[in-house]
Structure 1
């Protein structure tokens, strides 16, 4: 099975560049400097109209992964404002490694639409157990993790360990500091899904648009590894 490359985008131009470069899926966010927040309905509609790729829409309002009932209610309203979205990204914890019970109404608002559990488990004491708990949540089919809050370079030992579990590896999306430089090591470790952000932007900064050439370089690596 070929590997899967997801690219963070913020607008139509990003989406088109990522698609031209060979991305398999897009994660649509606002304010990527803060880790990605809920985009506006207008942006979601425009991006969906501009690409045939699957688009996972971020639902998030704060950088904290702690999720209160009040914040969960806000996220529910965000979901309700995005009826055109077909896939989502969200996350929340009560304690390190424990998916938040406050996610229940948000998951209900997704209405069966698929979603990714977003990086809230990076500091879990037992990443394998925490990721397994997340993918058992209704509708969750992937866990985005760097293995460590500092990013994949720091998380590599833990990522190698969890990727050795073939049942879980299929549900992991590796992202958070992935670059064209460390991507080969992640693929060798068994990563099947890879998530890239700044590293496929011009000048490697959020201030610049997605580079289709950089996406193509990453896509060629990811897809070649998936065929090997």
Structure 2
């Protein structure tokens, strides 16, 4: 069974994704900047309203590059502690999504180590900052050693299909030690091909549509993605 993760920007979108059959939602703010940390109120309400999906929360204090200053790290650590302390009445699986690079686009291991440690026992996904690292195979070993749960990647290409051979190689290297989450241009019409070409067990996508002048989640598209992966074709 392939896990479907839908990236959303608010609680209504998360509820739509859940109702449409998603397995997990990644909750962010400011998707136009690639995603930043949502408000604690947004996370708290999501935890009260969602019933069955896993929840991952972006922890990123700003858009732009992935270098993390000491002050920004303090903000991230405070956000992680606050997220871990929120009430979770439904007992959902809650994790965080982080990334940190040096000026030379290598993993900032000291920062990442402190973030992963602060998040424990919550699972940690390392986001697409990973795709800016030149030696992804060495970086994957470093992330595994840190104790992260998942790495999100398009194989350092614009889309998962373009990076399929790299994603497949990373998945083989990872084995059972860490999850490889394929992302980038994944839609209902190509999701089976992405899974076939990469061998991944998890895919990540947005399913945006415009509603009343703002972006919302297209539940029909999420259902089509889930239906394709179930082998039932479009639903």
Superposition TM-score, scaled by structure 2 size: 0.83
Cα distance, 1:70 vs structure 2? 2.4
Which position in structure 1 is the counterpart of 2:138? 129
Report the more deviating stretch, 209-218 or 92-101: 92-101
Relative to structure 1, the CA distance from residue 39 to residue 186 in structure 2 (aligned partners, 3 Å threshold; closer, same or farther) is same
RMSD, aligned CA: 2.5
- 5 Å-filtered alignment, 1:155-174, equals 155-165=163-173, 167=175, 171-174=179-182
Partner of 1:5, secondary structure, is strand
1:217 & 1:223 partners in 2: Cα distance? 10
Query: Which residues of structure 1 form unaligned runs of 5+?
Result: none
Of residues 212, 217, 221 in structure 1, which corresponds to 2:224?
A: 217
Partner of 2:193, secondary structure, is helix
Note if contact 1:73-1:105 (Cα within 8 Å) is conserved in structure 2: no
Report the more deviating stretch, 38-47 or 157-166: 157-166
Measured against aligned partners, the alpha-carbon deviations of 1:1-39 in whole angstroms (never above 9, x if no partner) come to x11000012222111110111100110100111111000
Partner of 2:214, secondary structure, is coil
Measured against aligned partners, the alpha-carbon deviations of 1:82-123 in whole angstroms (never above 9, x if no partner) come to 222731111112243434312233223213211101111103
- 5 Å-filtered alignment, 1:22-37, equals 22-37=21-36
Correspondence 1:187 to 2:195: yes
Correspondence 1:102 to 2:111: yes
Note if contact 2:6-2:204 (Cα within 8 Å) is conserved in structure 1: yes
Measured against aligned partners, the alpha-carbon deviations of 1:148-178 in whole angstroms (never above 9, x if no partner) come to 2633344233223323446069610011332
Which position in structure 2 is the counterpart of 1:147? 155
Which position in structure 2 is the counterpart of 1:117? 126
Relative to structure 1, the CA distance from residue 80 to residue 163 in structure 2 (aligned partners, 3 Å threshold; closer, same or farther) is closer
Note if contact 1:66-1:92 (Cα within 8 Å) is conserved in structure 2: yes
1:130 & 1:154 partners in 2: Cα distance? 20
Across the two proteins, how many residue pairs are aligned to each other? 220
Which position in structure 1 is the counterpart of 2:91? none
Which position in structure 1 is the counterpart of 2:65? 64
- 5 Å-filtered alignment, 1:11-30, equals 11-30=10-29
Partner of 1:93, secondary structure, is coil
Partner of 1:159, secondary structure, is helix
Superposition TM-score, scaled by structure 1 size: 0.85
Measured against aligned partners, the alpha-carbon deviations of 1:66-93 in whole angstroms (never above 9, x if no partner) come to 2232221111122233222731111112
Note if contact 2:174-2:180 (Cα within 8 Å) is conserved in structure 1: no
